[in-house]
């Protein structure tokens, strides 16, 4: 008999017993019908109980039957001690749900890789320096002319990408005179191709769309903004978007999963970098610089030479900038130019929100781990007390032949049922508590928006996009 048949028979034990009884009775009746004496026929087949048990053990998986029996008994024990069981389930559910909720927050903000190709080879460039007033500082924003020099300097080993912060900006649509707020980011034209992103509608920005100031006034909407602002209307292509005295034409919609590189902020509109008036100013540091290693380049050996090369380019740019340090003393300028460039991994994105809440989330993770530990200790104490009360039951089981393995299986089944119930309840608690905690720490005027796998993008109660 096949393994699957034995497993199926173990699940339907009562039905199998009836089938065995009917088969045995049919054999006896067949023997009697052939002329044998009824007593002799019954005696030839032996004890009905022994025959049924022998046939049952052949047709059913015994280990599965014993496991199911222990599960049923464990469920009855939980129902029998309702107050203790409810207290244990709630205690474990609180600990499990708290840990899962904390993990979801930490994962969404700090750990989850961006939905792009080559996220593990993406770095963000920043500089450690002594500020103009003598205080140590680290800055991650750069001037566009400096970015252009860096891009050309390392083009054989890496691609350099410029992405501004997604600032809330007043915009107006050609079909609506009312002004509204949207998160607008200026990006270099090579961002979408290097990230391996495909449009959900129309096309995305390319290097040709970022040739110089005033050229190619195009805009790309994020899928999230296209969804909640236009209801996925395909006729949005070709419409006009106004920012100040500039007019942009919508040429496409980004992929569904990509919401920008700034964790906590969902970018609504992507514009070419050189369409911003700041792109021509040497002394204006206004966007970040990302670096993506080319395929085949080993980060272990390539990052340090690239960093040193970029450091030399940056120092040369600062020394040649005649307007960057107007009014400062020579000593202050030299102190400022003595910068140390740093390449930080940026596969999970980069934002000020990460810096602000990294320590807070670490403390939160430690606290919820302690809550889970306390819950486990409490449940262990309750289970120990129950075990002491069941000493007579265990002694009786041993006296009728139950082995140590069977007793351990019995206890484990009951514990597994308890853990299963607590896990299900904890999952519901985690699904509710992670957005709830996010709402508590969110500023009402510009709430953070984090993507949770099961619930999509989470908004605070005062979301206003």
Question: Does residue 11 sit in the same domain as residue 29?
Answer: yes
Question: Does residue 186 sit in the same domain as residue 316?
Answer: yes
- Alpha-carbon dihedral sign for residues 379, 384, 385, 389: positive
Question: Does residue 253 sit in the same domain as residue 359?
Answer: no
Question: Does residue 338 sit in the same domain as residue 359?
Answer: no
Across the chain, which has 465 residues, the per-10-residue mean pLDDT values are 52 60 68 72 60 52 64 83 88 92 90 92 92 76 94 94 94 79 95 96 93 84 94 93 92 94 92 93 92 93 94 88 69 78 94 86 91 90 78 76 76 87 92 81 67 53 38
Q: Which of 42, 6, 10 is nearest to 24 (CA)?
A: 42
Q: How far apart are CA 391 and CA 108, in angstroms?
A: 48
> 255: helix, coil or strand?
coil
Question: Does residue 329 sit in the same domain as residue 281?
Answer: yes
E strand or H helix at 181, and its extent?
strand 176-187
Q: Which of 220, 261, 292, 255 is nearest to 114 (CA)?
A: 261
Does the residue 463 lie in any domain? no
Question: Does residue 302 sit in the same domain as residue 357?
Answer: no
Does the residue 205 lie in any domain? yes
**Which residue among 293, 326, 347 closes a domain?**
347
For the packed helices 330-337 and 299-320, what is the interaxial angle rounded to 10 degrees? 160
Question: Does residue 100 sit in the same domain as residue 125?
Answer: no
Question: Does residue 247 sit in the same domain as residue 138?
Answer: yes
Does the residue 70 lie in any domain? no
Does the residue 238 lie in any domain? yes
Q: 296's torsion region: left (phi>0), alpha (psi -120 to 50) or beta?
A: left
**Which residue among 347, 373, 399 closes a domain?**
347
Looking at the 3D structure of the chain, how many domains does it have? Answer: 3
**Which residue among 294, 321, 347 closes a domain?**
347
Question: Does residue 159 sit in the same domain as residue 241?
Answer: yes
Does the residue 67 lie in any domain? no
Residue 422, domain extent: 79-111+353-458
Question: Does residue 221 sit in the same domain as residue 365?
Answer: no
Question: Does residue 206 sit in the same domain as residue 248?
Answer: yes
Q: What is the pLDDT of residue 380?
A: 87
Please provide the DSSP assignment of 34-58 as one string.
Answer: TT--HHHHHHHH--HHHHHHHHHHH
β partners of residue 456: 452
Secondary-structure breakdown of the chain: helix, strand, coil percentages, each rounded to the nearest 5: 55, 15, 30
Which residues contact residue 306 at a Cβ distance below 8 angstroms, ignoring those fewer than 6 apart? 154, 157, 158, 291, 343
Question: Does residue 422 sit in the same domain as residue 359?
Answer: yes
Does the residue 12 lie in any domain? yes
Does the residue 69 lie in any domain? no
Listed in order, strand segments (DSSP E) in 149-275 are 158-164, 167-173, 176-187, 201-202, 218-221, 240-243, 246-253, 269-272
Q: What is the pLDDT of residue 322?
A: 59
Q: What is the pLDDT of residue 457?
A: 43
Whole-model pTM above 0.85?
A: no
Does the residue 257 lie in any domain? yes
């Amino acid at each position: 008999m096949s393994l699957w048949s034995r497993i199926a028979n173990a699940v339907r034990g009562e039905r199998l017993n009836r089938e065995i009884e009917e088969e045995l009775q049919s054999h006896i009746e067949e023997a009697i019908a052939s002329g044998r004496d009824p007593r002799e026929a019954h005696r030839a087949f032996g004890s009905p109980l022994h025959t049924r048990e022998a046939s049952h053990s052949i047709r059913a998986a015994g280990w599965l039957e014993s496991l199911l029996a222990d599960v049923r008994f464990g469920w009855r024990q939980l129902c029998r001690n309702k107050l203790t069981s409810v207290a244990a389930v709630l205690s474990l559910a609180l600990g499990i749900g708290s840990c899962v909720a904390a993990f979801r927050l930490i994962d969404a903000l700090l750990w989850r890789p961006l939905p792009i190709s080559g996220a593990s080879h993406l770095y963000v460039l920043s500089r450690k320096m002594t500020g103009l007033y003598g205080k140590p500082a680290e800055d991650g924003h750069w001037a566009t002319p400096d970015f252009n020099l860096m891009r050309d300097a390392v083009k054989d080993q890496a691609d350099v990408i410029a992405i501004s912060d997604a600032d809330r900006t007043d915009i107006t649509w050609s079909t609506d005179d009312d002004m509204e707020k949207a998160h607008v980011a200026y990006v270099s034209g090579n961002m979408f191709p290097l990230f391996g992103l495909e449009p959900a509608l129309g096309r995305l920005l390319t290097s040709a769309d970022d040739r110089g100031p005033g050229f190619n006034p195009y805009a790309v909407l994020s899928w999230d903004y296209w969804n909640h602002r236009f209801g996925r209307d395909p006729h949005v292509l070709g419409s006009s978007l106004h920012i100040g005295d500039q007019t942009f034409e919508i040429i496409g919609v980004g992929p569904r999963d990509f919401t920008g590189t700034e964790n906590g902020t969902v970018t609504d509109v992507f514009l070419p970098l050189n369409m911003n008036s700041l792109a021509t100013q040497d002394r204006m540091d206004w966007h970040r610089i990302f670096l993506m290693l080319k395929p085949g380049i080993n980060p272990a050996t390539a990052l340090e030479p690239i960093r040193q090369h970029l450091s030399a380019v940056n120092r040369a740019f600062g020394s040649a900038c005649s307007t960057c340090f107007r009014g400062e003393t020579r000593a202050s300028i030299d102190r400022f130019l003595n910068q140390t460039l740093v390449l930080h991994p940026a596969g999970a994105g980069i934002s000020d929100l990460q810096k602000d809440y990294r320590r807070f989330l670490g403390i939160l993770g430690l606290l919820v781990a302690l809550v889970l530990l306390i819950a486990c200790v409490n449940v262990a104490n309750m289970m120990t007390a129950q075990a002491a009360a069941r000493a007579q039951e265990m002694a009786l089981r041993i006296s009728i032949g139950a082995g140590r393995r069977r007793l351990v299986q019995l206890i484990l089944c009951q514990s597994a049922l308890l853990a299963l119930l607590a896990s299900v309840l904890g999952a519901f608690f985690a699904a509710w508590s992670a957005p709830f905690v996010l709402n508590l720490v969110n500023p009402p005027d510009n709430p953070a928006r984090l993507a949770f796998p099961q619930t999509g993008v989470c908004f605070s109660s005062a979301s206003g996009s």
